[in-house]
Amino acid sequence: MDNRMNTIAGWTLAGLAAALGLTVASGMIFEGGRPEKMGYPIEGVEGEGAGGADAVPFATLLASADPAKGAEVFKKCTACHTINQGGANGIGPNLYGVVGKPHGHLPNFAYSDALKSVPGNWDFDAMDAWLTSPRKYAPGTKMTFAGLGNAQDRANVVAYLNSQGSNLPLPAAPAAGEAPATQAEANVAEGAPTADLENAATPASGAPSVDPAAAVQAAKKSD
């Protein structure tokens, strides 16, 4: 009987010692907390708290964008879109000359009401937001593409789209700490006509009147 009790006590002590040893060893291994780099990166998924390209203004990324690389990324879109001039619509509309055009720019394509209800035009920032997440940009859209998670890929694609029939002046890359220029400001800087400038010259009720033509000339002289 004494031998059996001694055996049980021995095994119990051995188990406790093993558990204590494992606790100490695991504490030494994970003492540093969360490792700097977790696992493996997944394509199209941004890292936690990542700055990188997404922390850079889109106008800055556009300034160094490569349309040739954008053409490669655009191959993902060719299942639904054509981009050649006069190209046929597919599941999605032909995209020749789309940059700068209104949402729903082709009269012969059945756009979703969700997209047609989004105000504004396909300017550079709108293109960036759309390519980031079509469903967030136009909730209810028929577009099933999930979006491009890499900001430089988006800039390359937009540069490529712009080179296919639009050729709008790129917005100036902002200096450190400055806000990016709007599309209207970019047009004025390049001497391109803009309806927004004339609309902006229309005064609100009670405000002093401004001659639209004079506003346009003043903007050009300030360059």
Domain definitions of the chain by residue range: 54-163, 193-221
Closest C-alpha among 162, 147, 157 to residue 100: 162
Cβ(183)–Cβ(171) under 8 Å?
A: yes
Measured in whole angstroms, the distance separating CA 70 from the mean position of its chain's CA atoms is 14
The average pLDDT across 36-53 equals 42
pLDDT digits (tens, 9 = 90+) for 156-177: 999 999 999 999 999 998 876 5
Instruction: Write the pLDDT tens digit of every residue in 104-113.
Output: 889 899 999 9
| pLDDT tens for each residue of 117-143 | 999 999 999 999 999 999 999 999 999
107-121, 148-162, 209-223: which has the minimum mean pLDDT? Answer: 209-223
pTM exceeds 0.75: no
C-beta atoms surrounding 163 within 10 Å: 16
The CATH superfamily holding the domain 54-163 is Cytochrome c-like domain (1.10.760.10)
* φ, ψ for residue 216, nearest 5 deg: -65, -45
Segment 6-28, tens digit of pLDDT: 677 666 666 666 666 666 555 55
Q: What per-residue confidence (pLDDT) applies to 2?
A: 61
> What is the C-alpha to C-alpha distance for residues 65 and 63, in angstroms, rounded to an integer?
6
